[in-house]
Structure formats: structure tokens, C-alpha cells
Amino acid sequence: MPKTKILFHIFNTILIILYIYPGSILGFLIYRELYKQPQLTSDLFSLSSNHLYAFLAWSLLGLIAYYKTKKLLILNYLILGSIILEVLHLVIPNRSFQYNDLFGNIFGVLLSILLFYIYNIWRKNG
């Protein structure tokens, strides 16, 4: 298995664990508080910047790893995964569904798809 696929699966597993854990693992590691979320940068408009960065990186890895062999599958997985992971916060204790998080997730995925397409066009023409 190529390194990008292994890296994507590792990142995917970590993202899912961080998302479904009833509290903030990162908040506990950084602040020693289970209910405090670390904030990398201030939010952008009505988008969660943390979610945008996480899903941008996750999606780029997924596209690099699987686009050539499983285009439709990876696109569906990334888009639906970004939505489902946030909707799960409706039922996970100590987590809350927030539209700005959902929009950050979706925008991160869509931005990665756009960047991926632009890069491929540039590479093909250059």
C-alpha cells in the first residue's frame, strides 16, 4: 500500500476518534480540560477555522491517495463523511452540533477538491 494511502487511513482514524469522543481529547492534552477546545485561528465568517483546516488536510490526503483508482467513492466518502461526523454530535454526549462547524467541514472538503482540480489542470498544461 502506498505511503499516501497509509497516511490517509491513519489521519482518517485519528479524525474519527477525535470527532466521536465525548469531549475534547486535544483540549485535555493541551489545557488539561476535557471540555475546552483549542482554537488554531479565529473563525472565518461563519466557518469554524479548526474544522476547515482539518477537513482540508483530510480531503487532500484522500484525493491524493484514491482519486485515480476510486474517484466517485472518495468524493462521496469525503463529502458525506464531513456531514455525518458533525451530525453525530447531535447524539454524542458532551458534544454539540454547530452549523459553523458543519460549514467548516464542507468548505474544507470543497476547497480541497477545487485545489486538487486546479493543480491537476496546471500540471497537465505546464
Confidence class of residue 27 from pLDDT cuts 50, 70 and 90? confident
Model pLDDT for residues 57-80, shown as the tens digit of each residue:
999 999 999 999 999 999 999 999
**b vs e for 70-90, b when ≥16 Cβ sit within 10 Å of the residue's Cβ?**
eeeebbebbbebbeebbeebe
Q: pLDDT over 90 for what percent of the chain?
A: 67
CB-CB contact of 110 with 61 (8 Å): no
Q: What is the residue extent of each domain of the chain? A: 3-125
Kindly state the average pLDDT of the residues 29-46.
76
Q: Is the pLDDT of residue 101 over 90?
A: yes
Residue of 68, 82, 69, 73 whose CA lies nearest to 112: 82
Q: Is the pLDDT of residue 28 over 80?
A: no
pLDDT score at 1: 67
